[in-house]
Structure 1
Amino acid sequence: MNLDDAPPRGTGRQPASSPTATPHRRTLLRAALTGAAALGAGLALDASPASAVTAAPRPRPGTPAEALRALEAGNHRWRTYRERHPNESPAVRQSLTSGQYPFAVVLGCVDSRVPPELVFDQGLGDLLTVRSAGEVLDEAVLGSVAYGVLELAVPLVVVLGHQSCGAVRAAVEAEESGEPLPAHIQYLADQISPAIDHTQAGDARVDATIDAQIRLVRSRLAAEPDLAAKVTSGQLAVVGARYELTTQRVHRVS
């Protein structure tokens, strides 16, 4: 991933804030999530009072540029078959029962060939992943991304499209044929339709639309008022990227 377009480095991880969420609501939400984690830990067969000790958070990239570099390094390990599969140890698993500190939100496609934790060689607690076919945005997806940024102070959002996206192809072919798609798949096609590149034809149209959809979704996220304020202050970057199935490389889509 090219870092040339990365925003100015921030001063580190800042406390999460949201104009639309009161401190009381955020406190309740965090308490509920922490309580659920603690409950899960208590149900483990080998649970003991000693295992419930709260561990300090592991060091994490604190700025957009640092987060981008971590993902770039991980993807390099992946595509050169030097994966480390980090942060999977028993100690890490136990530490995560008391909280999570991901350093990037990755909004990717549901395609089974593009799991973000693998293509970026990251482990438990590193990435907050949100997946929908063709990276389609709806309220649930928007809320999930906003949660990572506003509640967990994540400094980087990556919209990750990929080569040979079936959802994009379905949208392009449905528009060309005029035939409706089954059930809820038509909703996906309708959401991708504004990104269809009519300057191209055939497979080239599908490929160009993959990039256009990444750009469209990235622009929509970056325009969200709460996220835009953090981008302006340098605390957050929202970037588009694409995974090539043939080379396993992730590169920026500007």
Structure 2
Amino acid sequence: MKHFMERRNFLKLGITGAFGMAITASDLLWRVEQAKADEAHPAPTQSLTPDAALQKLMEGNQRFIDHHLQHPDQSALRLQEVAQVQHPFATILSCADSRVPAEIVFDQGIGDIFDVRIAGNIATHEAIGSIEYAVVLLGSPLLMVMGHERCGAVTAAVKKESLPGDISTFVQAIKPALKKVKDQPGDAVENGVVANVQYQIERLHKSKLLTEQVESGKLRIVGGRYDLDTGRVNIIT
């Protein structure tokens, strides 16, 4: 019996050890495959400075305005290139409005833009986390917070409308921005759109991870305002 127990324990240890080696080998294989993917498809963002990334983004918007679209990075080959690894050259926090699709208005393709879309382009904790992931782990050198003309979320906040369900949550997130422009002359909604972009950028600057990237010169954060009538994106300072 003693001999039997020792033999069983020996086999058990052998199986456990083999299983551990299998996990290690599997993990190693995964890391090798990731390295191969990175080597085969080097990050394009590594050659783009934040300013160059912004220029590339705005050149795409000009093509959209002029109706000279190139539809880059939308081929079957591009699908294969980004299937295992992604390196978006821009991250955009924009409104979830159906009229403001970032890839279209900037004439970009698959894997070019890391989209974070939420009504009112507000920087919630979840949105900030998503942005930190794109900037720190994926190496995106440009972050744009993009509001748009006649934004419904800003309009609701300006009019102090009573809204059902969780719709009111993003309205509450915009109200602090409106306090800064409550006495400003002009259209209240338009003033609110610009102020909201600036306010959300202020919130993003409170992220330690993003601030470190900005201070090191690896990231630039800008504001944008999309014109629904013309398709033009203007930079907000």
TM-score with structure 1 setting the length: 0.75
Q: Deviations over 1:86-140 (max 9, x none)?
A: 0011111111111111011000000111100011000000000000101112121
Q: Is the 8 A contact 1:222 1:231 kept in 2?
A: no
1:209 aligned to which of 183, 192, 195: 192
1:189 aligned to which of 161, 171, 182: 171
Deviates more, 1:115-124 or 1:192-201: 192-201
- Corresponding position of 1:63: 49
Structure 1 unaligned regions, length at least 5: 1-27, 36-51
Deviation at 1:205, TM superposition (A): 0.5
Residues in 1 aligned to 2:231 and 2:204: alpha-carbon distance in whole angstroms: 25
Q: Is the 8 A contact 1:86 1:123 kept in 2?
A: yes
Q: Secondary structure at the match of 2:146?
A: strand
- Corresponding position of 1:108: 94
2:204 aligned to which of 221, 226, 230: 221
2:183 aligned to which of 199, 202, 210: 199
Q: Where do 1:51-130 residues align within 5 Å?
A: 55-57=40-42, 59-60=44-45, 62-130=48-116
Residues in 2 aligned to 1:154 and 1:58: alpha-carbon distance in whole angstroms: 10
Q: Secondary structure at the match of 2:196?
A: helix
- Corresponding position of 2:219: 236
Q: Is the 8 A contact 2:64 2:104 kept in 1?
A: yes
Cα RMSD, aligned residues only: 2.3
Number of equivalent positions: 203
1:131 aligned to which of 117, 120, 125: 117
Residues in 2 aligned to 1:92 and 1:98: alpha-carbon distance in whole angstroms: 11
Q: Which has the larger radius of gyration?
A: 2
1:180 aligned to which of 147, 162, 181: 162
Q: Secondary structure at the match of 1:154?
A: coil
Which portions of structure 1, spanning 4 or more consecutive aligned residues, are displaced by more than 6 angstroms? none
Residues in 2 aligned to 1:157 and 1:76: alpha-carbon distance in whole angstroms: 19
Residues in 2 aligned to 1:231 and 1:56: alpha-carbon distance in whole angstroms: 26
